[in-house]
Structures are given as structure tokens and as C-alpha cells.
Structure 1
Amino acid sequence: MFAKIKRPLITITLIFIVITSGGCSNPSDSKNEAHNTIIDMAGRTVEVPLTIDRVYSAGQPGVVALYTLCPDKLLGWCIEPSDAEAEFINAKYLNHPVLGLCQGTNANANTEEIVARNPDIIILMTDTSTEYAKTSADEMQETFQIPVVVVGDELTTMDESYRFLGKLLGVAARAEELASYCAKVIDEAKDISKTIPDKEKVKVYYAQGSTGLQTAPQGSAHSQVIELVGGINVCRLDAVDSGRLTIDMEQLFKWNPDIIIASYSDDHGGTNLGNTDVFDIITNANPEWPLLEAVKNGEIFKTPFLPYNWLDMPPSANRIVGVAWLAELLYPDYYHFDIVPATKDFYQLFYRIELSDEQINKLLNEAVK
């Protein structure tokens, strides 16, 4: 009954940077340039240039982190922003070249083109708890002959990822701004979620995919926001790779969620979900969905998704505003993030854009009570 869609487990390990300098006998030989020796977030020792100005991200999680931290150092997009996404991206950076993905099942990057653009390093933002991060980074480094640095993308330690990148890329002050914001939101969610009585916990189903019957099991990178704010993810099935699962309506009726969160995919972002508005599928396309108690009670909401999904796609800093949104949606008597000003603040700080009232309404359409 269940089909697995693989994705690595996202866990993070706090590490430190060890800095050394080396001279070079031939300044024109890039392999002999002065360098720093660092320990990346997967525990790998990597030699990187003293000055890093051009960074290629192997996947979308790193693109979000780099764009929000130091967009002028981002060598290019992995995936071209859609017209809808472009409205929420600072226009100055929309002309970045599109270089493709080296990370995930949709990898399509042109190795020669990336090398020709002469990146100083490659960032691989991924799981840091298993051998996947190390082996993938080592293989990528061997292929490109460019230093590959692993950065963790665990939601609850996103602040540490920013601080690591800030030191690495020479933008520590900006990184601390973003890290402090992340830590404040995460810490508040952790503290308040502990005060919610078990009898008041809300059962949540996260509907994804072309039919709404793909979902993220508990412990998946795609469900971390739900669990952080105190929601009960109804999907507690084992998934050794912590990816998504495909279920059927019979299983969903057995779970009987209190609330349904409907995802949206714009046919990219490293997903396989297609151009799908799951909210419309649930409310209009399938006659079985309206029989669920959550749908009968009007407890179905869209995930805001521009320029990146607030819950999970990609698993990066875009989820921080999702914490504020989902916390207030599930537990308005406990959380008081005030989602409209919280959204404006997040987009101004992280995405460097001032949202209009029209844009706020577009983001939160069908997403709030």
C-alpha cells in the first residue's frame, strides 16, 4: 500500500572552523594559492581559498541560504525562478545564470559549464548525520576538482548553519542577523510547544503530490515544522530514508486528521510533484476528500509557497517563516507571532523585499483562518 520516495534524513552537527594559511610559489597556479583549512559541517577537512567570492550551490537548499546571506557571491541559480517566484525575489539577482542541480534525483547540471565559471567553492547543503553527505561531497569534489563544503540544513539549528557560512564567506555580521532571527523563532516555538497539553494537540496531515496522497512521515525533513510547533503528524510510518510516502484514502480515513495542510509544487525546486495545487484537488477534484471530517469542518489550508514553500521545499531557511505561520494556525491561543507583520519582517530581512498588501494577501490566500 505504501511506496517510498527517497530523500536523506536531515540532521545537523555543530562544528567549528580551523583556519590556517599557506603561501604559494607560483601565484598563477590556483592549486598553490593561499588557503584556509576548515572542518565542514559533516566533519570533513577541506582546503578553501582565503577569499571566497564565487560560490556554486549543488542544490536548492544551499541556493536559499546563499541568496538570503550573500546573493552577490551566489554564482547562479540551480533552477530558473518562475514568473510567480520572481515577483518575490529581488530584481537585482534575477539575471543570475541558471547552472542546474548536482544534488537530488533531478540532477541536471553541466559540469563543464560550472567549472568554466570558476567557482571558488561548491556548497552542498544536506544531511550531516550519515555517510551520504561525506561520500557525496567527496565524489563531487573529485568530479569538479573544486573544494566542496558540506553545510547542514536541520531546521532547529539553521542559526548555526548561517554562522558557519558567515565565517566561511566573510559575511559574519550579516550571518549573525539571520542566525539571531532564526534562533529567536525556533526557541519560541520550542518553549511554547512544551506548554500545549496533549489533549489539545492537533492531528495534522500534510497533503502533497498529484493526488494529495503523498505525505511526509514523522521525522522527515518535510515535516519538521509540524513537529516543532507541537502538531501531531498523523503519518508515523517507518521510512528509513525519511522521504515522502504514498498512501491511499483508506489509510487517511483511519488517521482522521483534525487539519489538512495542502502543499503546492511549481514543477521544480528539486521535487517530483508536478505543477500541482493540492488544495484544488482536495476541494474540487476528488469526491472522497469532502467526506473527511477536516474538510467538512473547513480545516484545510494552503501552504504559502512564494518564492519558496514555507514548510519544506526546499528544506532551508524558507521554513523559518513557516514556523510562525503554522504555529499561529494550529494554536492561536498559545502562539502570538501575528503572521502579517511576521511575514513582512521575514521577507524584508531574508529576501530583501518590501511586501505590498496585495502580495501579503497573495501569500496568505487560503492559508489562514
Structure 2
Amino acid sequence: MSDTKDSTFPFRPSLIAAALALPMFAVQAAELTDMTGRKVQVPDAVERVFAVAPPVVPLVYAIDPGKLVTLNFPFQPEDAPYVSPLVKDLPIVGRYTGEGQPPNPELLAKTDPQLSIAWDIPFIDAEQVERTFENLKTPGLFVHLEHLADYPAAFELVGKAIGEEERAALLAEDIRTRLRRVSEAVGPIPESERKRVYFAEGNDGLLTECHDSFHAEVIELAGGHNVMRCETKAMCGRDPVSLEEVEKLDPDVILVDRPKAFAHIESDPAWSALRAVREGQVYLVPSKPFNWMGRPPSFMRAVAMEWFANLLYPERFDWDVEKEIKAFYSLYLGVEPEVVDVQAILGKG
């Protein structure tokens, strides 16, 4: 990580000194109802949060990065300009969802969290997560983060739990506004006229997501038609497909999840048979500092939805790329607009 100055991230509501000065004994608790209907007693002053699953990290980060005590995944060196110094040295523990090892109990205990927040999704072992709450002796909230539309309520719940209701309410309303604005622009497009999109994952572009996968929901939110009409069988998705199958599907546009696959598709003669490749309709999904499509799923899907709606239907959704991306990074990541290198984020720098 770079030695990014604290002033680059001006929105942080809490103070580290205040957190360190908090007494270690229990404080008065307030009862909250989490997104599964559970009643949870949450301390009035929460400064140390354990994000149980990868999608919870960006959720808490957007509200106040200084509240996090661990990460589930490392940031990359190129992410440094967009990552708060408050998290760059946090220990990386395991995860209860997705790919990777479960958290290390001893390492977790040393971080001394006051609150744990978990991702409620059908693929997790909720009982195992509950046991983690008990072992850490922390209250635990479950949040729904599967779809972008879940985020307003998740922001509001977590904001209330950690004492940042005003900040959380601002983010919640912003997500609602973006969803409404894009829906009004692309919603009226008849299904038969929607751009057909293939989402290329993996190093060779031959892994993909079914149309019902939350990893690819940006396509449908932006008014596109995901050509993979199938049912997701596993949380991680990445269903294999052959190049011949992709050719038959004949997508108008190809979204690519990683630079290696993007370079492969652009240079491999076998892919040139696809109309989308010949017509230059292949786009790399941005990933700094969180992947825009959703690995892990995060609020970045809001800017991805707008970016992709503008790429698909510029005549319907007018969007100033430079201005809007800088504003989004400023609001959600606390990065000063002049720090945001839009062309580099879009893989063009």
C-alpha cells in the first residue's frame, strides 16, 4: 500500500483516539432487528466491527472504514490510491462464504470486536456463523447483500448499529436514486430490443454466470439481456461454457471480468468469429478497489450499472463518465476527485 494521507479520506466519522479511549466493560445496549428478523442487543458505542464475509467489508467500509478490525481479502498494490490508511494494515482472516479458508479463531479473538456482521445467503451455514458470534462474545447481525436493491436497508441497519445513521442514510438514499434513475431510462426497452450480453470470466473467458446470478445482476439492471439463460447451482457461479456455445448465442456485447481474459479475447483469432469482438464491443469490468460486478458483491454495482447502461444505451442514459465516477468514488470511498484516475480505473490508462 502507498502512504496515502489521511486527508485523502475526509469522510471518516469516528476518531481512532476515541475508540482507543473507550472502556472495555459492557455499555448499555440497544435492541435492533436484523434483516432476518432476529432481535439483537447492540452496544451503544461500537468502534470495532468484524465483517464475517467478504461482501460485508465494503458495506462497513463505505460507512466508516475505521470501524473494521479485519479484512477477508487483500487489496492489490494498484488499489492503494483508493484505500484508506485506516485499513491497509488490518489482519486478513478467512471467510464463511465463497472460496477460501474459514476464519482463524485465535486471530479473530485478538482483534477484540464489539459487533459481528454476517451475510445472510442460502449457501452459508448460519449455525456455524452463530457459533462464531458466541465464541467471540459479540452480538451478531445478519444482512442481505445479494442484490443491489438490498443495500439501502443494509446501510441503514448497519449505520444504526455502529452509530453512523446520518452517513448510512445518505448512502441508502443515493442507491435508491441511482436504481430509480437507471430503471426509468432503460426499463421501457422491450425485451426483444435489449442488447444481448455475454459475461466472460476466468483467464480464457469461458466461465460465466447464469442470468439469475447476483454476480451478473448488473447486466439486467443496466437493461441488458444476459444470454446465459440458466439456473445458478452454486454461490460462486463461474459455470463453464465452450467458445462454440458462445458463438451460437451471438452476443452484442461481451463483459470481461479480468485483464488476462480481456487480452486473450482481444488477441485470440478464435474469438474474432464473434460479432461483439469484430465490432469492438468488448469491455473490461473495472475492479479498483472493489470489483464493480461483484466479487465480492458490493455497492460498486451501482456505478457499474450506470456505466454499463451508458455503454449499452447512450441515447437513453446520458452519463458523464469522468464526472460521475469521480463523484461516486468521492461519496462512497472518501477519495478526493483529483485523486481518481478514471482512465486507469476503466483499464485505458
TM-score by length of 1: 0.82
Contact 2:34/2:141 (8 A) holds in 1:
yes
CA distance in 2, matches of 1:104, 1:361: 30
Matched, 1:151 2:143: yes
Residues 65, 29 of structure 1: alpha-carbon distance in 2 compared, 3 angstrom cutoff = closer
Distance in structure 2 (CA, Å) of the matches to 1:139 and 1:231: 41
Identity between Structure 1 and Structure 2 (%):
29
Residue 119 of structure 2 aligns with which residue? 125
Distance 1:366 1:292 in 2: 22
The Cα of 1:126 is off from its aligned counterpart by 4.0
2:7 alignment partner in structure 1 = none
Q: Is the 8 A contact 2:46 2:115 kept in 1?
A: yes
Q: CA deviation at 1:133?
A: 6.7
Q: 1:131 Cα deviation (Å)? A: 7.8
Q: Is the 8 A contact 1:56 1:74 kept in 2?
A: yes
Structure-2 residue corresponding to 1:267: none
RMSD: 2.3
- Tell me: CA distance 1:43–1:282, structure 2 relative to 1, closer, same or farther (3 Å): same
Which residue number in structure 2 is paired with residue 19 of structure 1?
A: none
Question: Structure 1: how far apart are the matches of 2:166 and 2:269?
Answer: 53
Deviation at residue 47 of structure 1 after TM alignment = 2.7
* Structure 2 match to 1:251: 245
Aligned-partner SS, 1:60: coil
CA distance in 2, matches of 1:341, 1:161: 27
Residue 326 of structure 1 aligns to a residue in which SS?
A: helix
Please point out which of 49, 59, 77 is paired with 1:65: 59
User: Which of residues 75, 80, 98 is equivalent to 2:92?
Assistant: 98
Q: Give the structure-2-normalised TM-score.
A: 0.86
Q: Work out which of the residue numbers 282, 287, 299 in structure 1 matches 2:265.
A: 282
AA matched with 2:203: S
Structure 1 residue runs without a partner (length 5+):
1-26, 265-275
Task: Say if 1:296 and 1:357 are closer, same or farther in 2 by CA, change over 3 A.
Answer: farther
CA contact (8 A) 2:33 2:39 kept: yes
The CA deviation at 1:359 is 1.3
Map 1:60-209 onto structure 2 (within 5 A). Answer: 60-127=54-121, 130=122, 132=124, 134-153=126-145, 154-209=147-202
Q: Across the two proteins, how many residue pairs are aligned to each other?
A: 325
Q: Is the 8 A contact 1:328 1:338 kept in 2?
A: no
**Letter of the 1:222 counterpart:** H
Does residue 343 (structure 1) correspond to residue 337 (structure 2)? The answer is no
What do residues 86-133 of structure 1 show as CA deviations (whole Å, max 9, x unaligned)? 222133442333334343231342211111221011111342xx4847
Q: Answer yes or no: is the 8 Å Cα contact 2:70–2:111 preserved in 1.
A: no
